Amino acid sequence: MSTQIQKRKLGNSGLEVSAIGLGCMGMSFSYVPFPEKKDMIYLMHQAVEKGVNFFDTAEVYGPYVNEELVGEALAAFKDKIIIATKFGFNIQDGKMSGVNSHPDNIKKAVEGSLKRLNVDVIDLLYQHRVDPNIPIEDVAGTVKDLIKEGKVKYFGLSEAGAKTIRRAHAVQPVTALQSEYSLWTRDPEQEIIPTLEELGIGFVPFSPLGKGFLTGKMNETTIFDKTDFRSTLPRFTTEALKANSALVDLLGLIAKNKNGTTAQIALAWLLAQKPWIVPIPGTTKLHRLEENIGAAFIELSSDDLKEINEAASKIIVHGARYPENLLKTTGL
């Protein structure tokens, strides 16, 4: 097997990235305990060696420390890689406190990100969450100015609705949308994916392995530490994990036939949906990184996809993605 992963273009923008990216959030945010910094630097170096050139971080992860980690780890590879980061939250006293996409806050965030990432220009800059208090046209216009100034190359949105995407795209072309999408979170199929296809925008699914669930390494006996973000999620209660295991069983059956793993089939399914979809599974473990990259080499036939879709359509996913109070504000 070739060790180099193939590339994909994010929509019509011309931005070319590895078919599987690396989400860096968990290296220093949300999933406690965090690994040693030197191990994460080694992991990112290994990712580059294996052909991954697309790395995802955000100002709010930490806050700040994740960008610093990514900037330090990838300093030697600047001309070979694409780093995506995000703005859009108030950060006070080292804590996130609600959305803020005021133009002044965007500019301030970008100056901070440039320093922490140790780069002259941000490759892909996402609005992390839509700010209901600032017109999206003002957000897109601010990023447009930053692109003209040479501080940003491409503009992205995260978890935005179809109307918001259209309004932003009319002011400054949107290169990519980053939202949750996987076999157990399929809401984007209704409105979002058709909109992206029409406008020529790439799709970057986060949590493509369902925050670890679709790896097949969890069941109803799994206990999450109270410091683990998943302990607060309705979809990770004992009852929900038990009810949702049918989805993992289905992936496991296909994996056996393909000589792959459950996680690889979940990622290969995403890659098979559209040629401009690039998932960004996060991991802190080298063997998981290798496993995720391996998904890009698994081809699912139309019969495989039909089998997965037919079986998945009979499985009702239990539990909401987030608790009600977090749905609009979470930075994950």
C-alpha 166/C-alpha 200 separation (Å) is: 11
The count of C-alpha atoms lying within 13 angstroms of the C-alpha of 113, restricted to the half-sphere facing its C-beta, is 27
User: Is 320 within 8 Å of 289 (Cβ atoms)?
Assistant: no
Q: Which of 31, 42, 61, 322 is catalytic?
A: 61
Q: Which residues contact 121 (CB under 8 A, 6 or more apart)?
A: 114, 150, 151, 152, 153
DSSP state of 317: P
CA–CA dist 33, 326 (Å, integer): 22
Q: What is the largest CA-CA distance in the chain?
A: 54
Pairing of the two strands 89-92 and 95-99? antiparallel
Number of other CB atoms surrounding residue 331 within 10 Å: 20
Three-state SS at 258: helix
Active site residue 61: yes
273 in helix, strand or coil? helix
If you search the block for the tokens 């063997």, which residue do you land on? 287
**∠ CA 307-310-311, rounded to 5°:** 85
> How many Å apart are CA 202 and CA 186, to the nearest integer?
17
Whole-angstrom Cα distance, residue 127 to residue 136?
A: 10
Among 288, 301, 222, 230, which residue's Cα sits nearest to residue 261? 288
Q: What single-letter DSSP state applies at residue 86?
A: E
Supply 43's token pair: 């992991």
8 Å CB contact between 46 and 39: no
Active-site residue set: 61
